[in-house]
Structures are given as structure tokens and as C-alpha cells.
Amino acid sequence: MIVELGHFALVLALLVAVFQMVVPAWGAYVRDRELMATAEPAALCQLGLLLVAFLSLINAHVTSDFSVANVVANSHSTKPLIYRIAGVWGNHEGSMVLWVLILALFGGAVAAFGRNLPPSLKANVLAVQASIAVAFCLFILLTSNPFLRVDPPPADGNGLNPILQDPALAFHPPFLYTGYVGFSIAYSFAIAALIEGRLDPAWARWVRPWTLLAWMCLTIGIAMGSWWAYYELGWGGWWFWDPVENASFMPWLAGTALLHSSLVMEKRDALKVWTILLAIVTFSLSLMGTFLVRSGVLTSVHAFAVDPRRGVFILAIMTMFTGGGLALYAWRARDLRQGGLFAPISREGALVLNNILLTTACATVLIGTLYPLLLEALTGAKISVGPPYFNMTFGPLMVPLLLALPFGPLLAWKRGDLLGAAQRLMLAGLLAVVVLAMALAGLRRGPILAPFGLALGVFVMVGAVSDLAYRARLGSVPLEEAWRRLKGQPRSAFGSALAHFGAGLLVVGVVATSAYREELILVMQPGEETKIAGYTLAFRGVAPATGPNYRETVGLFDVSRGGEAVTRLEPSKRIYDVPPQPTTEAGIHAAWRGDLYVVLGDAQTGGGFAVRIFFNPLVRCIWIGALLMFFAGAISLSDRRLRVGAPGRARRLLNAAPAE
């Protein structure tokens, strides 16, 4: 019964979305305030209905209702509660429901908090949001309905792929989708601006915080996926340039560019037309991410929906929103006037460089990901585009970006002083050179370019700190005065410095772990010892164990360093009950200088076990860097000036502004 309720709510949500797509937009066209105002309750109603649909699906999974096909296919009665809930979005149908729910959440947020938006802009924005909802609700109901029953119901379900049964992966999709779908706000605002033929000043103030929120969630979502791959897939890699990873990375790159260009637009009223284009492109890449993963067009670890009918449907959606958006842009963008003059050497100029490099990097990933598909479709020739291609093309683009990054925040708007900025970066440059010299002298192995990469990361990190120090006039005013000035800085200044610091840290982690990883592959007999990166590992043998829904063989490794016990690592080989799949669980000891990473292999015919041991230096910096970027976004978002969408602030604005 509850399942039917959810099904019905989804159909109703579709109908409400159709209404919301047509009536407010028509109202904006004929300038009828009553019709425009219908967008607001419609958006909230749509949100409520989708919430009912989603909760009823969660209920079916939690109560293990095996009369529902979706539950049968993806759940099992012995599955722990958290994975029964996470299993809702761990499958194609359920994840699509989550997708539209998040879309409706963002639409509802615009409806609820957007009281200070001009009515016609708001009506158009919500109408565009609704058109996306219509497309995806139709997609769910016609090709991927999670509410269908099976008759007769089986006694139990098929279970969730055990490698997906993991806390990081449980929350990976919601963050990723919030990121993808969050860019829909930027898209809807862009389309609304093009429809109206003018850019309201509210535009940039609205688009930036929502883009920031989406970007934060996408950052943490991608980081979680990478973290999961690192410890779960058992070979210690953290990024594979897999098409599905690229699918989420492309919107991130474009979104990062959008974040920076909307900054120029907000502060300087420049790059407006470009920002609109970037907003369309970013959301289109999010749609493409959904398409690539959901259509099964790629064959890769994550793509679990393999059904061409769905692929064609999503391709149609993508063509409509990307093609339609770009066509509208080509038609109307000329009507939007460019503004804001600036010299090439200026904060704006630096952000233009940022956008040039980020969009090129994004295009490179796009080309590398789609090229084999297009080539096969056009000529039938099958080629592979793997990590070496991306490392050779994407890598070099990051070098000038990172070199220029610390200069950007130190340049003034309109006309900057490059020499002055360089002087303020003396310390950063000096420390980078010291790191370079130490790495060149101390690390006698690894690629010759690696020390330069480390130095670049340090340059970015110290450069970010220098930015704050300069803002506080540290060194030229007394310490208390500098502290007072630092405290007086807007939170967005801390946000950008922290995000840039995180980016530098990430670079250091990436370079260190890629270039200086140590590895041992050997057969170990119980009682045997081996050494890696200063650690001594003593293999004590294996022991059987059972978990809630799996059995495992646990290897026992006592780790010591310089004669002192450090930890005991227990890597294991698991067999899940349903479905009966084997997985490996790595034993990981995390320390500041790096991770000790042990994987237990098969029992050997001659006795003993195959063991693979890695030392991944500074690998944590990668995720800590991403985490810092996430928090940096949160700090910026908490800046009062950005919270134009908050209700309290909106009311104050409304009171302050004379009635129109």
C-alpha cells in the first residue's frame, strides 16, 4: 500500500512539474503576477510529493518488502540497516528518484528563500527547474520505475553487490548528486536570463552561493569515491581515469571555472556572457555524467544499469537541455551587454587565465573519455584511452594553473601589480625552492619531475598563507594590529585561502604517492617477517571470522618500527553470503608520512600466503586536501554577504527596499 502511495506521489509530482513548467513561464511572458506566483507553491508541492515517493521507497527497502521488484533485485533481509537504506540509491531506479528529489529540493529552496528575486526571473527559473523534473520523472516512470511489484514475491532478495556495502560508498551518491543537480540552479538562472534577455544584478549574487554549494558536495562526493576505491578495491590506487570517474570530474572542473568566473561577475560585472555559457556547460556535463553512468554506454566498474532503452532516453534529455540551452545562448547572448573593464594583469585577468586552463583541462578529459566511443561508432575501430593519455595531456595543463594560482588573490581588481604580487610570494617561492633542493638531493628514486611537482604544491600552499598574511599586513604593522586586521577579513577570504591551501596539499599528496610509492609482492609463511619503508611486518598466520552477512579469512600482521610495536593489521578475504562474492579488505595503518597498506592474497600450494604490501607516502594529503576544499566552501558560504538567499536576510532586504 505504501509503495502504491509512493508510486502515485511520483505520478502526481510529474503532473505538478508539468504545471510548474508551463504556467509560471506563460505568466512571465504575459506579465501576469498571479500566474507567475503559482511557481512557488508548485515547487514546494512537487518537493513534498517527491519526498513521499522517496520515503515510501526507503520504507520498502527497510522493511524488506520483497513484493517490490527493486527491493528483490538490490536488497536482502540480512543486510545491515544502513545498507538497506543506502541500497535505495545504490541501484539505478532508486538513484534516479534521489536525483529528482534533490532537484526538487533545490527548486524548493529557490521558491522558499528567493523572496527577493524579481518575480519574472523567479518564475522563469522555477519553470526551467520544473522542465528538468518533468524529463526525469518521465524517465523514471517510463524506463526505470522502482515501484513495480513482482508476483509471486520471492522469499528473499538478491542482495547488494558487496563491494558497494561500505560507509563511504553509502554516502558517495547523495553528495555526488547534490553536486550534479546543484548546478541545475546555475543552469536554470542562465536559461531564465537568456529568456528574459537581461541579466538582473540578483543573478550573480544568487548563482554563486548555489554553485558553491554544488561544488562543495561534488568535491566531497568525488573524494569519497576515490577514498573508497583506495581502500576497497585492494590495489591502493586512488584515481584511475575511469570514464565514470571522469564523468564526475568534468562537471567539477567546469564548476570550478564557473565558481571563479561568477566571482568576477559578482564583483566586477564582467565576464557575464561567458559565465552564462559556463553555467549551461557545467550542468550539461552533469547531465552527461548521469548519461554516461546510467546508459551503460561505458563498460566500467560502476556502470550497473545496462539497458540501451534508458540510454536513448537520457541521451534525448541531454540533447534537449544541452542543445536547447546552447541554441538559446547562441540566439540571445548578443542581447546581454558586456561590462566591467580591466587590464590583462589584474584579478580579473588571473581569473580569465584560470578559466582558460580549467576549461581546456575539462575539454581534454571530455575528448579522452568520448573519443573511443565516437571512433567506434563512426569507424568501428576500437582503441583505449587510458591513464597515460590523461597524465600526458591533463598534467601539463595543471602546471601553469598551479603556478599562477597564488598570484591571483594577490592582484588587485581592474589593474594589478605583478611585481608586487611576486614580492609577496617571495617566501612561498623560497620554501618551494628549498623543498625542490631537498627532494632532488634526498630522494634518489622516482621520476625526475616529481620534486618539481612537490615544490609546486608547496608553493601553492605557502602562497595561500601569504595571501592571508598580506591581507593582515603581517610584518608591516604591529602583531596585535595584524591579528585585528586578520579577524576583520571577510570569511570568503579565509575560504579562498583555505581552498587554495587544500589544492596545494592535494598536489603534494598526488605527486608523493604516485612517484615514491613502495611495493612488495611476496609469499609469507606464518612466523616470517618482512621490511618496508622502515616498518617490520611479522606475519602471525590467518584466522577465520564471521560478520553479519559474510565469512572471512583474516591475516594477522604485527607491525613494528625500530623495535617498537606500532599496530596489528588484519587484512582479510571475505565471502559474502548473498550474493556469494569474494572481496578483499586491506589492512591499513595511517601515519603522517604515509599509509602502510597490506592485502592478503591466496593460500599458496607450497604453504604460506601471497601478500602484497604498499607504502603510500603522504597519500592522506589527497583526501585531507579535498576535505579542506569542502570546508573552505562552507566557510565562504557562511559569509554574510553570500547568504542573500537566507530568509532573514531576504526579509530585511525587502523591508529596506522601497516597494516597486
Partner 1 sequence: MTPLPHSHLWLAALLGAMLASGPALAVEPDEILPDAALEARARAISSGLRCLVCQNQSIDDSNAPLARDLRLLVRERLKAGDSDQAVMRFVEDRYGEFVLLRPELNAHTVVLWLAPLLVLIGAITVGIRALARRASQTAGSPSLTTVEEEKLRALLAEKDAAGD
Which of the residues 270 through 309 are near partner 1 (CB under 8 A)? 270, 274, 298-301, 303
SS3 63: coil
Q: Which of 581, 591, 631, 634 binds partner 1 (CB under 8 A)?
A: 581
Q: Is 382 in the site for partner 1 (CB under 8 A)?
A: yes
Query: What CA–CA distance (Å, rounded) separates 612 from 597?
Result: 8
Q: What is the dihedral angle through the alpha carbons of 493, 498, 503, 507, rounded to the nearest 10 degrees?
A: 140
* Beta bridge pairs of residue 154: none
Size of the residue set binding partner 1 (CB under 8 A) = 78
Q: Angle at which helices 479-487 and 450-471 pack, to 10 degrees? A: 100
Closer to partner 1 by CB, 212 or 229: give it. 229
Q: What is the grid cell recorded at 84?
A: 538497506
DSSP 406-431: THHHHSPSSS--HHHHHHHTHHHHHH
238-257 residues in contact with partner 1 (CB under 8 A) are 240, 242-243
Number of alpha helices (DSSP H) and beta strands (DSSP E) in the chain: 23, 10
| Of residues 145 and 161, the one with the C-beta less far from partner 1 | 161
Does residue 542 bind partner 1 (CB under 8 A)?
no
Supply the DSSP symbol for 639. S
Residues 219, 359, 513, 549: which binds partner 1 (CB under 8 A)?
Answer: 359
Contact between 647 and partner 1 per CB under 8 A: no
> Is there binding between residue 418 and partner 1 (CB under 8 A)?
no
DSSP 96: H
Of 48, 153, 237, 526, the one binding partner 1 (CB under 8 A) is 237
Least distance from partner 1 to the Cβ atom of residue 584, Å: 5
Q: Of 110, 21, 3, 7, which Cα lies nearest the Cα of 60?
A: 3
| Residue 47 CB, nearest approach to partner 1 (Å) | 30
Give the distance, in angstroms, between the CA of residue 424 and the centroid of all CA atoms in the same chain.
Answer: 33
HEC readout, 498-540: HHHHHHHHHHHHHHHHHHCCEEEEEEECCCCEEEECCEEEEEE
For position 546 contacting partner 1 by CB under 8 A, the verdict is no
> Does 447 engage in binding with partner 1 (CB under 8 A)?
no
**Shortest distance (Å) from residue 279 CB to partner 1:** 17
Query: Are 73 and 156 contacting, i.e. CB atoms less than 8 angstroms apart?
Result: no
3-state helix, strand, coil split of the chain in percent (to 5) is 65, 10, 20
Could you say whether residue 375 binds partner 1 (CB under 8 A)?
Answer: yes
For residue 314, what are the CA distances in angstroms to 189, 329, 379, 587?
22, 22, 24, 40
Give residues with Cβ within 8 angstroms of 58, minimum separation 6: 85, 88
- In the bound state with partner 1, the residue whose beta carbon lies nearer, of 20 and 261, is 261
Q: Is residue 353 a contact point for partner 1 (CB under 8 A)? A: yes
Q: 227 or 342, CB closer to partner 1?
A: 342
Q: How far is the CB of 580 from partner 1 (least distance, A)?
A: 11
List residues bridging with 613 in a β-sheet: 520, 598
Q: Is 232 in the site for partner 1 (CB under 8 A)?
A: yes
- The stretch among 215-223, 520-528, 540-548, 628-636 that binds partner 1 (CB under 8 A) is 520-528
- Cell numbers describing residue 561: 618500527
Question: Does 646 help bind partner 1 (rule: CB under 8 A)?
Answer: no
Strand, coil or helix: 446: coil
Pick 171 or 235: Cβ nearer partner 1 = 235
Which range of residues in 147-155, 206-214, 384-392, 426-434 is near partner 1 by CB under 8 A? 384-392
Report the site for partner 1 in 597-626 (rule: CB under 8 A).
Answer: 599, 601-602, 604, 610-612
Q: From 225, 233, 228, 247, select the one nearest 318 (Cα to Cα).
A: 247
Q: Residue 523 interacts with partner 1 (CB under 8 A)?
A: yes
Which residue stretch of 361-369, 430-438, 472-480, 510-518 sits at the interface with partner 1 (rule: CB under 8 A)? 361-369
**Minimal distance, residue 299 CB to partner 1, in Å:** 5
- Residue 3 vs 270, nearer CB to partner 1: 270
Which residue in the set 80, 308, 323, 344 belongs to the binding site for partner 1 (CB under 8 A)?
344
Site string for partner 1, 159-198 (x = CB under 8 A): ----x----------------------------------x
Contacts of 638 by beta carbon, 8 Å cutoff, 6+ apart: 491
Q: Which three cell numbers stand for residue 412?
A: 588587485
Closest contact distance (angstroms) between CB of 208 and partner 1 is: 14
- Give residues with Cβ within 8 angstroms of 245, minimum separation 6: 222, 225, 226, 239
Nearer to partner 1, 233 or 443 (CB): 233
Which DSSP symbol is given to 475? T
47 vs 303, beta carbon nearer partner 1: 303
Pick the closer one to partner 1 by CB: 20 or 549.
549
> Which one-letter DSSP state was computed for residue 338?
P
d(CA 646, CA 635): 15
Residue from 1, 30, 81, 381 touching partner 1 (CB under 8 A): that is 381
| Contact with partner 1 (CB under 8 A) among 393, 530, 536, 567 | 393
Is residue 636 close enough to count as binding partner 1 by CB under 8 A? no
- Spatial neighbors of 260 by CB under 8 A, at least 6 apart, are 351, 354, 355, 358
Within residues 458-517, the interface with partner 1 by CB under 8 A covers 488, 490
* CB nearer to partner 1: pick between 443 and 523: 523
Min dist CB 13 to partner 1, Å, is: 34
200 sits near partner 1 (criterion: CB under 8 A)? yes
Amino acid of residue 172 = H
Using CB under 8 A, which residues numbered 560 to 579 contact partner 1? 573
In 3D, which of 212, 173, 178, 45 has the Cα closest to residue 102?
178
Exactly one of 174, 209, 234, 255 binds partner 1 (CB under 8 A); that residue is 234
Footprint (CB under 8 A) of partner 1, residues 394-413: 397
| SS3 call for 597 | strand
Among 434, 521, 545, 565, binds partner 1 (CB under 8 A): 521
Please choose, from the candidates 509, 510, 410, 521, the residue with its C-alpha nearest in 3D space to the C-alpha of residue 469. 410
